[in-house]
């Protein structure tokens, strides 16, 4: 009989987004992790107690004979080979072939479940043949497979981040137990509380949606200002927006050219480019956050405070992946900003994994009780 707690290996672990989400979901125990990036692994070990657990820095070196017995393999194999933001080399890119290392370990260990994540571009890469090859490999190992593209903003996180999640299972009774998710998250995204410096936007649990690393003033530690068209914010027919802390100035832009006009009490993100549009949600995070306004070739978000554009900080990046402050504090002192941006962007959104984990744990309990 299978144990009710699901033991798992955290592959391509990054700083541990999968582990954090599954921990919050409950019913999971991590038996080890694999991560080749030394900086990310340093953060992982600061966040989690890994003493006595299995570890391998390079999945290509992982010996199945040394792996502990587990019921779940999870991970986000490198997405650059399939991402629109990358060169989309697919299996021709060495990073793209790392999926087959997951398949190799799966064939050897035969875990009851698989949970994988990647960019939506995986689905249509090479006319769909790349994803078909992945499905064929796992189907050949006897796994039932289901997948769905999920957006972080539908799980209470103010970031528009679409990723495809794939569930594999050996027991057919698990079919339809995890996917699909339908509709957006039922909980309110934000609530507004009055403060001495003006209204600030908070998540319902009291944690700001996105914060500045600098205390006090606009974008202070306690929240993101809610701004709207008003005399105080300087809204008129045209704006000159400047970049906080720099002498870079955006081109003039008209209010009626904005995709979403800022309404009072709505968090305002703004594109970091010369034709900025306000959005209710942050654009999908990239590792290029610190490359400067005028060099951005792809959409990325800053925060409009009513007067200037405030670039998202590493703390805010991690919060947009649903890491809590007490966890963030463990990693901020360890790395330069460039590394922190990279680690946040390369991870999964914790709350999405938590939601999937809760359904998977419930399905596991159900089939275990029936055995």
Residue 331 has a pLDDT of 98
Q: 48 CB contacts (<8 Å, ≥6 apart)?
A: 16, 19, 30
Contact status, residue 79 vs residue 122, Cβ threshold 8 Å:
yes
Residues 124 and 197 in one domain: no
Instruction: Give the tokens for residue 160.
Output: 């528009």
Instruction: Give the tokens for residue 227.
Output: 């701004």
Q: 356 CB contacts (<8 Å, ≥6 apart)?
A: 21, 25, 115, 165, 167, 178
Does an H or E element contain 11, and which? strand 6-11
273 in a domain, yes or no? yes
Q: 352 CB contacts (<8 Å, ≥6 apart)?
A: 21, 150, 152, 155, 157, 163, 165
For the chain, the domain total comes to 2
What distance in Å separates the CA atoms of residue 241 and residue 251, rounded to the nearest whole number? Answer: 7
Residue 224 backbone dihedrals phi, psi, to 5 degrees: -100, 130
What distance in Å separates the CA atoms of residue 330 and residue 7, rounded to the nearest whole number? Answer: 25
pLDDT digits (tens, 9 = 90+) for 307-336: 666 778 899 889 999 999 999 999 999 999
Residues 181 and 66 in one domain: yes
Mean pLDDT of 170-193: 69
Band (284; pLDDT cuts 50, 70, 90): confident
pLDDT value at 85 more than 50: no
Q: Which of 280, 310, 302 is nearest to 214 (CA)?
A: 310
Q: What is the pTM of this model?
A: 0.75
Q: Which residues are catalytic, by number?
A: 79
Instruction: Give the tokens for residue 204.
Output: 């319902």
337 in a domain, yes or no? no
Residues 78 and 225 in one domain: no
pLDDT digits (tens, 9 = 90+) for 124-145: 888 888 888 899 999 999 999 9
Instruction: Give the tokens for residue 20.
Output: 């954090």
What is the overall mean pLDDT for the chain? 75
Residue 29 backbone dihedrals phi, psi, to 5 degrees: -130, 125
The residue with greater pLDDT, 124 or 32, is 32
Residues 288 and 175 in one domain: no
pLDDT digits (tens, 9 = 90+) for 150-170: 999 999 888 989 999 999 999
Band (283; pLDDT cuts 50, 70, 90): confident
Instruction: Give the tokens for residue 332.
Output: 């901020």
The three-state secondary structure class of 25 is helix
Residues 25 and 165 in one domain: yes
Residue 323 has a pLDDT of 96
Chain Cα centroid distance, residue 42: 19
Q: Which domain holds residue 288?
A: 191-331
Residues 181 and 197 in one domain: no
* CATH code: domain of residue 75: 3.40.50.150
Angle between helices 350-370 and 17-25 (to 10 degrees): 50
Residues 230 and 174 in one domain: no
Q: Which 3-state string (H, E, C) describes 31-70?
A: EEEECCCHHHHHHHHHHCCCCCCEEECCHHHCCHHHCCCC
339 in a domain, yes or no? no
Q: List helix spans (H) across 183-292.
A: none
Residues in the chain: 371
pLDDT digits (tens, 9 = 90+) for 208-254: 333 223 323 333 333 333 333 322 333 333 334 443 443 333 333 33
- Kindly give the pairing relationship between strand 113-118 and strand 162-169: antiparallel
Band (288; pLDDT cuts 50, 70, 90): low
What distance in Å separates the CA atoms of residue 208 and residue 69, rounded to the nearest whole number? Answer: 40
317 in a domain, yes or no? yes
Contact status, residue 154 vs residue 184, Cβ threshold 8 Å:
yes
Residues 223 and 179 in one domain: no
Mean pLDDT of 99-111: 94
Q: Please, is 64 exposed, middle or buried when counting C-beta atoms within 10 Å of its C-beta (0-12, 13-18, 19+)?
A: exposed
233: left (phi over 0), alpha (psi -120 to 50) or beta: alpha
338 in a domain, yes or no? no
1 in a domain, yes or no? no
Q: Please, is 66 exposed, middle or buried when counting C-beta atoms within 10 Å of its C-beta (0-12, 13-18, 19+)?
A: exposed
Residues 233 and 113 in one domain: no
The residue with greater pLDDT, 205 or 98, is 98
Instruction: Give the tokens for residue 290.
Output: 């610190």
Contact status, residue 306 vs residue 236, Cβ threshold 8 Å:
no
Residues 180 and 204 in one domain: no
Residue 277 has a pLDDT of 74
Residues 227 and 124 in one domain: no
Low-confidence winner among 55-59, 75-79, 92-96 (lowest mean pLDDT): 92-96
Does an H or E element contain 43, and which? helix 38-47
64 in a domain, yes or no? yes
Residues 223 and 141 in one domain: no
| DSSP-assigned letter for residue 147 | E
């Amino acid at each position: 009989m299978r144990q009710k707690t699901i033991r798992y290996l955290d592959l391509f672990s990054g700083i541990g987004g999968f582990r954090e989400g599954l921990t919050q979901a409950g019913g999971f125990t991590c038996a080890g992790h694999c991560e080749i990036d030394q900086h990310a692994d340093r953060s992982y070990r600061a966040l989690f107690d890994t003493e006595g657990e299995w570890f391998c820095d390079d999945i290509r070196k992982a010996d199945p004979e040394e792996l502990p017995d587990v019921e779940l393999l999870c991970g986000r194999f490198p997405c650059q080979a399939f991402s629109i933001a990358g060169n989309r080399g697919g299996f021709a890119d060495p990073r793209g072939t790392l999926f087959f290392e997951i398949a190799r370990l799966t064939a050897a260990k035969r875990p009851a479940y698989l949970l994988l994540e990647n960019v939506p571009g995986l689905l249509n890469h090479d006319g769909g043949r790349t994803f078909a090859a992945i499905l064929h490999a796992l189907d050949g190992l006897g796994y039932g497979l289901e997948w769905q593209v999920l957006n972080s903003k539908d799980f209470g996180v103010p970031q528009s981040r679409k990723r495809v999640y794939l569930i594999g299972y050996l027991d057919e009774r698990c079919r339809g137990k995890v996917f699909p998710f339908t509709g957006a998250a039922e909980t309110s995204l934000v609530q507004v509380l009055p403060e001495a410096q003006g209204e600030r936007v908070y998540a319902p649990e009291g944690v700001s949606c996105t914060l500045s690393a600098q205390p006090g003033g606009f974008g202070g530690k306690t929240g993101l200002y809610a701004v709207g068209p008003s005399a105080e914010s300087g809204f008129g027919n045209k704006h000159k927006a400047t970049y906080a802390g720099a002498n870079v100035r955006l081109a003039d832009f008209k209010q009626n050219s904005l995709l979403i006009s800022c309404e009072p009490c709505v968090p305002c993100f703004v594109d970091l480019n010369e034709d900025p549009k306000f959005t209710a949600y942050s654009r999908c995070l990239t590792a290029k956050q610190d490359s400067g306004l005028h060099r951005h070739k792809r959409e990325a978000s800053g925060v409009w405070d009513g007067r200037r554009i405030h670039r998202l900080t590493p703390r805010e990046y991690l919060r947009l992946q649903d890491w809590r402050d007490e966890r963030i504090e463990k990693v901020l002192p360890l790395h330069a900003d460039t590394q922190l941006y990279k680690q946040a962007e390369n991870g999964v959104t914790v709350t999405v994994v938590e939601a999937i984990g809760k359904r998977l744990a419930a399905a596991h309990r159900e089939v275990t009780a029936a055995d």
